[in-house]
Every structure is written in C-alpha cells, then in structure tokens.
Amino acid sequence: GAGVSQSPSNKVTEKGKDVELRCDPISGHTALYWYRQRLGQGLEFLIYFQGNSAPDKSGLPSDRFSAERTGESVSTLTIQRTQQEDSAVYLCASSDSWGGWTEAFFGQGTRLTVV
C-alpha cells in the first residue's frame, strides 16, 4: 500500500472486553513499532518487530498486552480485559531498518476509549 494503515480508526469498548488493533505496514518494511500515546503526552514505546520476531517486549505495560506479526507484514496488538487506563491512541510505524537508521512511517493511529 501507499502508507501504513491502522484499523479501526476509533474503537470504543467496555471495560473488561478484549480488543484487537491492526497495523498494515508499508510492503517490504522489516521493522514495525507499536507506541501508545495518552492525551497530551509523548509516545510510549510498547514493542517492535524485526520481521516476525519481537526481540524487545519490555515496553508492554502488563501481561494483558500482546502483539504478533505474520508474514513479515500485518501486526496485531491485543489488549485483554481492557481497563480505563488503556484509553489512548495506539500508533504503529514501519521502517526499512531498525534502530533509527532510516525514517519511520506512521499510521494515523487507533483511538481506543474504554468506558
């Protein structure tokens, strides 16, 4: 595709429900990053992928959060038993290298609201 695509754009869910957020990176990009951004705050690193592997999961806030990537393409971030503090914009980015050697391209994010 032309850019990084995230879906859904907005998601409202009830506390305790599970949600899946999807990211379609730019074709051929080996690195994929997930970030969380609370209102008015900076980007909080969650996880990144090299191909289909996630060498660093240290940013995941709790064991309710998990992510996978398949086919060195689409990635899914799953939040189980959502809590109100999970409300945020979840941003995905892809790059043709990792560690900041080349620019990262961002999707428009998924705004998650837990009620």
Instruction: Provide, rounded to whole angstroms, the least separation between the CB of residue 71 and another protein.
Output: 21
Short-list 22, 30, 29, CA closest to 6: 22
28 versus 42: smaller Cβ distance to another protein = 42
CA distance 104 to 96: 8
Instruction: Provide, rounded to whole angstroms, the least separation between the CB of residue 28 and another protein.
Output: 17
Which residues contact another protein (rule: CB under 8 A)? 4, 31, 33, 35, 37, 39, 41-45, 48, 50, 55-56, 58-59, 89, 91, 93, 95, 98-109
Residues in the chain: 115
13 versus 105: smaller Cβ distance to another protein = 105
Instruction: Provide, rounded to whole angstroms, the least separation between the CB of residue 112 and another protein.
Output: 13
